[in-house]
C-alpha cells in the first residue's frame, strides 16, 4: 500500500466518521434526551472505523466480497438502531441516509479529487477527466 493510498484511506475514514456522527446527531435532534457523546462516538467508531478497517484488510486478504461488504453493511444496518433503540421513523431516515452517504462521499471524492477507491466497483470520472 503506497503512502498516497494510506492517505486516501485515512481521509475516507475521517470524512465518513464525521459524516456518520453528523447523521446520528441529525436523527436524534428531536429526542428529549439524545444519546450522549460517548455512545455516539463508540458506535460511530465501530460502524465506520472498524468497518472500513475490516473491509480493507479482508479485501486485501482475498476474502469474498460478500464478507468484506456484507459484515460492515450488517453492522451499519443493525448496530445503531439496536444500541440507540431507534423509533420506526428514526430507523427509516437512518437507513436511507446511511445507504446514500457512501455514494455521496464516493461521487464527491471522485469528481473533485479523482480518488476512486471508496467504492471501486463504481466508476465516476473526475471533473478533470470530464473536461479533458
For 76-117, how does the pLDDT look when each residue is reduced to its tens digit (9 = 90+)?
999 999 999 999 999 999 999 999 999 999 899 999 998 888
The rounded distance, in Å, linking the Cα atoms of 128 and 48 is 29
Residues 94 and 27 sit within 8 Å (Cβ to Cβ): yes
Within a domain: 59: yes
Within a domain: 61: yes
Backbone φ/ψ region at 12: left (φ over 0), alpha (ψ -120 to 50), beta: alpha
C-alpha grid cell for residue 15? 470524512
The torsion angles phi and psi of 61, rounded to 5 degrees, stand at -90, -5
Within a domain: 122: no
pTM: 0.91
Within a domain: 105: no
The rounded distance, in Å, linking the Cα atoms of 130 and 110 is 11
Within a domain: 42: yes
> Looking at the 3D structure of the chain, how many domains does it have?
1
Residues in the chain: 132
Within a domain: 90: yes
Q: How many CB atoms lie within 10 A of CB 51?
A: 23
What is the per-residue pLDDT for 5?
87
Is residue 119 pLDDT above 90, yes or no?
no
Within a domain: 64: yes
The SS3 assignment for 34 reads: coil
Query: What's the average model confidence in pLDDT over 9-35?
Result: 96
**Domain, as residue range, for 62:** 3-94
Within a domain: 118: no
Amino acid at each position: 500500500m503506497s503512502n498516497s493510498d494510506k492517505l486516501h484511506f485515512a481521509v475516507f475514514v475521517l470524512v465518513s466518521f464525521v459524516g456518520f456522527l453528523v447523521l446520528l446527531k441529525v436523527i436524534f435532534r428531536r429526542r428529549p434526551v439524545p444519546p450522549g457523546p460517548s455512545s455516539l462516538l463508540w458506535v460511530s467508531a465501530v460502524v465506520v472505523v472498524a468497518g472500513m478497517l475490516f473491509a480493507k484488510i479482508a479485501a486485501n486478504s482475498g476474502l469474498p466480497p460478500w464478507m468484506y461488504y456484507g459484515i460492515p453493511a450488517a453492522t451499519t444496518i443493525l448496530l445503531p438502531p439496536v444500541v440507540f433503540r431507534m423509533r420506526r421513523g428514526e430507523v427509516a431516515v437512518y437507513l436511507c441516509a446511511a445507504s446514500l452517504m457512501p455514494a455521496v462521499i464516493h461521487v464527491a471524492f471522485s469528481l473533485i479529487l479523482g480518488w476512486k477507491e471508496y467504492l471501486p466497483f463504481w466508476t465516476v470520472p473526475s471533473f478533470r477527466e470530464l473536461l479533458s
